[in-house]
Amino acid sequence: MVDAVHGARGRCAAIVVNPGAFTHYAWSLHDALAAFDAPVVELHLSNPDAREPWRHTSVVTPVATGIIAGFGGLGYRLAIEAVATWVTASPTPPGGPGTAVALATGAGAPPHLGPPGASKDLITAMSVSTNDLKNGMTLDLPEGLFGVVEFQHVKPGKGGSFVRTKLKNVRTGAVIERTYRGDEKLEQAIIDKREMQYLYADSGDYVFMDNTTYDQMQVTGAALGAATRYLKEGDSAVLQMYGGEIVGVDLPAAVELEVTGTEPGLQGDRVSGARKPATLETGHTVSVPLFVNQGDRIKVDTRTGDYLTRV
């Protein structure tokens, strides 16, 4: 890695370095990066500050222009976009305009992104024109994080074009309508979606394991919201992260859960439409038909919380 950094001097306009474990003790890497007179982005798969204490010290940070750690997914691409901004602002980048960005990689796992510190705004949000909005895109607005549900481009006979939008609050689910000028710039939030497995509960929190990096993360029940009603140990879920926080949870449309408590079922009463409460293995209570018994497994819609069928 040190040889790669030295080889980039005079040839590359910036370095994105994923130093792995070398981050915490390899002062030779620090010296090599200090001698590289151009932007340096320190990139980590996970957030070192959220892990063991010995990981909290980095020999790279003192010479890094910015840090990306712990958000996942788009780390390398966003890091290169960040250094492209810095290089463009520099009148004489090493090697001249348009030269390559060196990737000095010390870990083979997929990248994770995140920007603790001053580089946060640069890394986690990018400007997007209202002309380029797409359904499902997430926007960082003054009112909070919103997903684009619908949009319509309008070109009136007189005056400038505009865009009507229907937006859904990522955290609360509330839907609002906003109208923007054509080609107005908004901040697109880069949501990191990580597939994780729920391992166990710990003092009211939920411990997950990243299915890619095997890092473990402790998440509060409040951050998971209604998803806790349907999660049991061993289940997988996609956690949506932004700015180091859980902003949403994607579950399968339906899950199978065991009924751990309900009144005895009534045989033959399948069409009356009568219902009774049933407690599931997660502790959540749903309304079920009278014929469902304790010990039965049922399928529940995670979007509405409704009983679907007995398995």
What pLDDT score does 16 carry? 84
- Phi/psi region, residue 112 (left: phi>0; alpha: psi -120 to 50; beta: rest), is beta
What pLDDT score does 196 carry? 92
Nearest to 89 by CA among 114, 120, 65, 69: 65
Contact indicator for 102, 76 with CB cutoff of 8 Å: no
Instruction: Give CA–CA dist 44/17, Å, rounded.
Output: 9
Residues 7 and 107 in one domain: yes
The winner for highest mean pLDDT among 120-129, 215-224, 236-245 is 215-224
CATH of the domain at 176: 2.30.30.30
What pLDDT score does 88 carry? 53
Longest dimension (CA), the chain: 83
- Residue 269 to residues 23, 38, 278, 291, Cα–Cα distance (Å): 66, 75, 16, 6
The winner for highest mean pLDDT among 104-108, 139-143, 195-199 is 195-199
The values of phi and psi at residue 242, to 5°, are -150, 125
Return mean pLDDT, the chain: 79
**Does the pLDDT value for residue 197 go beyond 90?**
yes
What pLDDT score does 271 carry? 59
How many domains is the chain partitioned into structurally? 4
Tokens of residue 175, six digits: 């839907």
The values of phi and psi at residue 229, to 5°, are -70, -20
Domain with 206 in it: 192-250
What pLDDT score does 148 carry? 93
CATH of the domain at 222: 2.40.50.140
What pLDDT score does 36 carry? 84
Residues 97 and 29 in one domain: yes
**Band of the pLDDT at 272, cuts 50, 70, 90?**
low
